[in-house]
Structure 1
Amino acid sequence: MKRALIVIDVQESFRARPLWKEIGNPGIAEPVNRLVRLARDHGDLVVWVLHSEPGSGDVFDPDLGHVRLLEELEPPLPGEPVLRKTAHNAFTTTNLQQLLTEAGVGELWVCGIRAEQCVETTARLGSDLGYEVVFVADATTTNPIGDLGVDAIMERTQAVLRDRFARIATVAELAASPV
C-alpha cells in the first residue's frame, strides 16, 4: 500500500507567537526531519501543509511573512506539494485528497503542531475517508490550553485517536518496522 507523510503546520507562525515559549517541544523540527528522511527513503509522498489566515493581520496572515516552514526543517524536494489551508484539517480547503487519490495512497502518517487541533482533525478526517492513519506522537507537539498542560493534551489526543481513528507510533517505531 502506498503511503504519504503529511507534515502539518510546522511553521514560523507559531514561533512568532508569545505562546512559543510554552510549546511542548521547541525542537520539533528534529523528529520531523527524521520522519521526512524515513518517508523519503521508503519512496513515500511527503506533503507539507501550512495554516494561513489571509487578511487576519496576525502571524497566520501570509502578508506578514511567518506562513513558511520552520527554518530548521529540511526543505521540500521538487514534486513535494506545499499546501496552504484555512481550515483546521488539511483536507477541507486544499486539494490534499485529490493528490492522495492520484498517487494511490492508502496510508497516512501525520505529524505537526497543535496535536489536538490540526493534526487530530486531519487524522480523524483521513480515517473517515478510508485511509489507514498513523499519528506520529514524537513528531507532534502543542501548547498548553488553559489549565491543561502539554502532557495532558498529548495524552488525551492519543487516547481519543488510538485504535479508533489512528495507530499511535514514534519515529523510532516506524523506522524499525518493515516497509
Structure 2
Amino acid sequence: MTRALLIIDMQRAFDDLDFWGPTANPDCEANVEALIATWTRSGEPIVVVRHDSVSPGSPLSPASPGNALVDAVAAVEPALSVSKSVNSAFYGDPDLHAWLGEQGVGELVVCGIQTNMCVETTARMAGNLGYDVTVVLDATRTFDLTADVAGLGTVTRSAAELMAATALVLQEGGFAKIATTAEIAG
C-alpha cells in the first residue's frame, strides 16, 4: 500500500502569537522538517495543504503575508498542493480523495497546524473514507482556547490539553493511530 505525507496549514500566520494566543509544541516545525526529509529520501508522495481563508482580515487570506508556507514546507516540491477554506483537506481544490485514489494511496501520515482543528478534521474524514491514518502528534501544534459554550459557561483549555484530547479522541474513536516523529522518521 502506498503512503503519503499530508502536511496541513504550515503557514507563517501561525507564528503570530499575539493573534492566536499561547501555543504548545515549539518543536512542531523541526519535526515536520524531519518527516519531509524521510519522505524525500523514500520518494513517497508529499501533499501540501494551505488554508486560503475567505474571512475578511484573516491572516490566512491569500493576500496576507501570513498565507505563506513556512520555509521547510515552501522548499518542498509536493506531489500535490491543495488549497482549502474549511477545516478538512478533503474539501479543497484539487480533490484530495480523487487524487489519492488515482495514485493508489491507502495510508496517510498527517502533520501540521492546528492539531484540534484542521489536522483532526482531516484525520477523522480520512479514517471515515477508509484510509489507514497516522497522526504524528509531535509534528502538530495548536493554541489555547477560551469560549462561552451554551450550557457550560466559559470553557478554557490549554494547547497541551487540546492536543492530548485530540490524540485520545482520534485513537479511541478508531480514526487514526497516534505516533511520534521518532517512530515514523526513525
TM-score, normalised relative to structure 2: 0.87
Which stretch has the larger CA shift, 167-176 or 127-136? 167-176
What is aligned with 1:175?
A: 185
* Secondary structure at the counterpart of residue 89 of structure 2: coil
What is aligned with 2:150?
A: none
User: CA separation in 2, counterparts of 1:173 and 1:74?
Assistant: 24
User: CA separation in 1, counterparts of 2:57 and 2:162?
Assistant: 28
**After the TM superposition, which parts of structure 1 deviate over 6 Å for at least 4 consecutive aligned residues?**
none
User: CA separation in 2, counterparts of 1:115 and 1:107?
Assistant: 19
What is aligned with 1:154?
A: 163
State the Cα deviation string for residues 75-133 of structure 1 (Å, max 9, x = none): 122x5322210110100133111221111100000011111110000000001111000
What is aligned with 2:176?
A: 166
Count residues in correspondence. 175
Which stretch has the larger CA shift, 114-123 or 37-46? 37-46
Q: Which runs of 5+ in 2 are unaligned?
A: 147-155
User: CA separation in 2, counterparts of 1:60 and 1:76?
Assistant: 20
Task: State the AA in 1 paired with 2:164.
Answer: E
User: CA separation in 1, counterparts of 2:86 and 2:175?
Assistant: 19
What is aligned with 2:37?
A: 37
- Counting strand residues as a fraction of each chain, which structure ranks higher? 2
* Secondary structure at the counterpart of residue 35 of structure 1: helix
* Secondary structure at the counterpart of residue 79 of structure 2: coil
Task: State the AA in 1 paired with 2:161.
Answer: A
Task: State the AA in 2 paired with 1:156.
Answer: A
Task: State the AA in 2 paired with 1:111.
Answer: C
What is aligned with 2:24?
A: 24
Q: 1:49·1:85 contact (CA, 8 Å) conserved in 2?
A: yes
What is aligned with 2:71?
A: 71
User: CA separation in 2, counterparts of 1:25 and 1:167?
Assistant: 19
Task: State the AA in 2 paired with 1:158.
Answer: A
Alignment of 1:1-179 (within 5 A): 1-16=1-16, 18-19=18-19, 22-54=22-54, 56-73=56-73, 75-77=75-77, 79-94=78-93, 95-146=95-146, 147-163=156-172, 164-176=174-186
Report the identity percentage.
36
TM-score, normalised relative to structure 1: 0.90
**Structure 1 residue 8: Cα displacement:** 0.4
* Secondary structure at the counterpart of residue 98 of structure 1: helix
